[in-house]
Every structure is written in structure tokens, then in C-alpha cells.
Amino acid sequence: MNTQTLHISKGAFKLEMINSISTNTLTNPYCIKQKDNKEIICNVCYSFKGLNFRKSMVNVLQKNSNLLSNSIIEWDNLPRIFDLYFRFSSHGELINEIHLENLNNICLKNPKTNFTLWSKRFDIVKKFYDNNNKPSNLILIYSNPKLDKPLNKLPKYFDKTFNNVVKLSYKKYFNQKTMFFQKNEITKELKTTIKNDYDNYINTFDKDNNINCFQKCKDCLLCYTKNNVTTIIEKTK
């Protein structure tokens, strides 16, 4: 077996039929640093939670981390990919410029595949593409770490932004509405008003927040095709 063979993860659930090459979130210094920040999406990272329960997957993703970030993979050892759409980093984040150069080369080797890379590392992306051409079959999506602050302006070299907004539970909504009330001021009538307001909040949430990410990727493809949509917005899970 070739020791330079990258592991390709089969798409499942939301990513059904969208395969990917990912790395190990649990050992990525950037991810480790960001995950304790309660102001950003990294604090509720699905990958950190998922990989802690999928130990067998951690090993193959760590191998990918090592292969992609330690040295440039020889051209003949880069994977041949026959999918029409393919994702980079369904787990993990860019580690360094070597990592990005290897992904870039995978795109060049597979010109008939449309690749999409999500990343918060605009610093790595800018530094690399200031000196290299971005392949025409690569879509770069800036994964906005800030919650409830959709970003419309594109960082340099990125094609789209991916944003998360938080839909409050009734308990959190109620607490926000009553935080300045004394206990004896929270009447039955006030509770009824807040409940009605919350129902309206739920019913109009998607429209009010311009949610356009709500189905399986294969049925949408906004992130995988070049189109006039540059701001993707999803409800946090």
C-alpha cells in the first residue's frame, strides 16, 4: 500500500453523495485555540464532538493531516477523483501553506471535478494565492466564525461566505424578554404575549434571516457551483 495515499471520506447525512478529503480537527492548533471562544461557531464545532465518538476515523484523518501538511505530495501520488462535486475539509481546517498547495494540486490533477474548500484561514489563503493561480475548478468559501453576523463582503480570493445564525429556544427567548423584569412582574398575560411573539419569531425566522442552506448539499449545490449567490446562511444545529 502506498504510504502517501490520502483517505477519501464517503459523504453521508447532509453530505450524502459529496465525498471529501479531511484532516483531524482534534490536533489542529488553530481549531484547538478557537474552540473555547463562546462568541464564535467553533465553540459548538460538530467535528470536535463527532470525532471524540469516532476513534477509528481519527486515525485516518490524522494520516491525512500529516500527508497534507508535512511535504508536497508527489504528483503521481495525488488521488484521481471522478466525482462531479467534491469537498475539502468536511472535518478540520487548513494547517499551513503546504496543506493548501497539496489541495491546489489535487484540483489541477482533476480538472473535470468541481472542488469546494471551506476555511477560516484567510491568512493562509491570501499568502498562497498572492503567489499562485487559483484553479478554475476550485470554489473557496470563507467560513465566517462570527454568529448572527452574516458577512457579505468577500475576503480576497474567496468566492462565497458561509454564515451561521442562532435560532433561540423558547427558554432563551423568554429569558431575554424578561431579563429586566422582577419576578412579580411576569404575569400570565405577559407570558401569553411572549409565547405569541415567539411563535411568530419561529414562523418567520428563515425568511427574516435569509436562510438559504436548509437541505442536503446534493439537492442544492449553491456552495459547489459558480452562481450569483455569494452569501450562504444556515441555522446553527
Query: Per residue in 117-164, pLDDT tens?
Result: 999 999 999 999 999 999 999 999 999 999 999 998 999 999 999 999
pLDDT, position 3: 54
pLDDT at residue 1, as a whole number = 38
Q: Which pLDDT does position 50 carry in this prediction?
A: 77
List 87's β-bridge partners, or say none. 20, 116
Neighbours of 101 (CB within 10 A): 15
pTM metric for this prediction: 0.88
Residue type for 168, please? L
7 is written with which cell numbers? 483517505
19, 8 Cβ separation under 8 angstroms: yes
Query: Measured in whole angstroms, how far is the alpha carbon of residue 135 from the centre of its chain?
Result: 21
**Which residue(s) pair with 231 in the sheet?**
161
**159-162-164 Cα angle (round to 5):** 165
Distance, CA of 179 to CA of 191 (rounded, Å): 13
Structure confidence at residue 53 (pLDDT)? 67
Q: Which helix (H) or strand (E) holds 147?
A: strand 138-147
Under 8 Å between Cβ of 155 and 142: yes
Position 87 scores a pLDDT of: 97
| Domain ranges, ordered by start, for the chain | 13-166+205-235
Q: What is the DSSP letter of 119?
A: E
Question: How are the residues of the chain apportioned to helix, strand and coil, as percentages rounded to the nearest 5?
Answer: 40, 15, 45
Q: How far is the C-alpha of 202 from the C-alpha of 195, rounded, in Å? A: 11
Distance (Å) of CA 102 to CA 5, 54, 141, 216:
13, 26, 17, 28
**51 exposure class (CB count in 10 Å sphere: 0-12, 13-18, 19+):** buried
157, 129 Cβ separation under 8 angstroms? yes
Give the Cα separation of 27 and 20 in Å (integer): 19
**What does pLDDT average to in each consecutive run of 10 residues of the chain (237 residues)?**
78 89 96 92 83 81 97 96 97 97 98 98 98 98 96 96 94 94 93 95 92 90 94 88
Amino acid at the residue 106? I
Phi first, then psi: what are they for 123, rounded to 5°? Answer: -65, -45
Q: Which three cell numbers stand for residue 231?
A: 452569501
